[in-house]
Amino acid sequence: MNPLPKNLGELMKRYKRVLVPELNLGQLVWVLRSRYLVDAVSYPKVQGKPFLQAELEAKIQSLLAH
């Protein structure tokens, strides 16, 4: 992910919400928030296992409901 795409900030600002699923404590969302000034939502998972599709769908549905 380094370097990040040049148009990433412009792309993220097109959306009302940006969800950042991470298999760590959320370091990428800190970078995105500080560098691009977007209100990205962190969704960290620190269990050594990948996200399940159902987990991501549930998180997306909960964000869309608010």
Which tens digit of pLDDT belongs to each residue from 21-60?
999 999 999 999 999 999 999 999 999 899 999 999 999 9
Q: Is position 2 within any domain? A: no
Q: Which of 2, 63, 8 is nearest to 37 (CA)?
A: 8
Residue 8 in contact with residue 40, Cβ under 8 Å?
no
Name which of 57, 47, 54 is nearest 22 in CA terms.
47
Q: Which residues contact 16 (CB under 8 A, 6 or more apart)?
A: none
Which range marks the domain in which residue 33 is found? 8-65
Per the listing, tokens 């969302």 go with 29
How many independent structural domains does the chain possess? 1
42 in a domain, yes or no? yes
Average pLDDT for 12-19:
94
Q: Quick check: helix, strand or coil at residue 10?
A: helix
Domain presence at residue 3: no
